Structure 1
């Protein structure tokens, strides 16, 4: 088993879960009417349909994180029996995506959101797993 890739995959799941939970609690909770899943309360020039797609996109990011985590864990467990060239391409692509995500969150939040650190750690662990 490749421990670096396995840990990176687990971190992807944790990051996705915390992203959805904290997003709901800190951002979307105050924008929902009672018994509604999607937010509908808009207090700016933003339209309700725009708020709804922002909410959906927020959670899509978590789903993508979980999928990347599943890919990393599968590779970590079966790396020796898989096509080495394809695995290297997949791992490199994931590492680049994580480094770019880390930079984007770091730049976009001026370092105030801890997500950039987790993306950076996932990227480093992923590269170490090659």
Structure 2
């Protein structure tokens, strides 16, 4: 039987990663990119080009990791009964703690002004409800 809570949590991970990459490209990296270039290279006084490049790569790594977690959660939502329960419990608990810690970090780091903390919190709550 499908676990709807985990499915919703997985979908939220995908949506959060997508929004993170798209909005970040528009709001942060758009003005730092030379026309026709994929990777931004317009550094500034306090930010060298090589640092900007790794910030850009790391920005998108966060989205990729979110999609990976989302894929795990969707898989678990569809096939929980056929998966090893001990490793599954570990993965679910680790992911739940990670989502709550991420929520707290974004909440504190942005003084509550970035809505990402709400999505991380909601994912954590869904994982608790589904477990």
TM-score in terms of structure 2 length: 0.97
1:86 is displaced (CA, Å) by 1.3
Whole-Å separation in 2 of the counterparts to 1:22 and 1:50:
20
Matched, 1:88 2:89: yes
1:13 is displaced (CA, Å) by 0.2
Whole-Å separation in 1 of the counterparts to 2:45 and 2:112:
26
Paired residues for 1:1-130 under 5 Å: 1-130=2-131
Tell me the matched-pair count. 130
The answer for unaligned runs of 5 or more in structure 2 is none
The answer for unaligned runs of 5 or more in structure 1 is none
CA RMSD of aligned residues (A): 0.6
Whole-Å separation in 2 of the counterparts to 1:55 and 1:105:
18
Deviations 1:53-103 (A, max 9, x none): 000000000000000000000000000111112111100100001001000
Give structure 1 regions of 4+ aligned residues with deviation exceeding 6 angstroms.
none
Whole-Å separation in 1 of the counterparts to 2:53 and 2:87:
37
1:43 is displaced (CA, Å) by 2.1
1:42 is displaced (CA, Å) by 1.5
TM-score in terms of structure 1 length: 0.98
Whole-Å separation in 2 of the counterparts to 1:128 and 1:52:
39
Moved more, 79-88 or 98-107: 79-88
SS in 2 for 1:122: helix
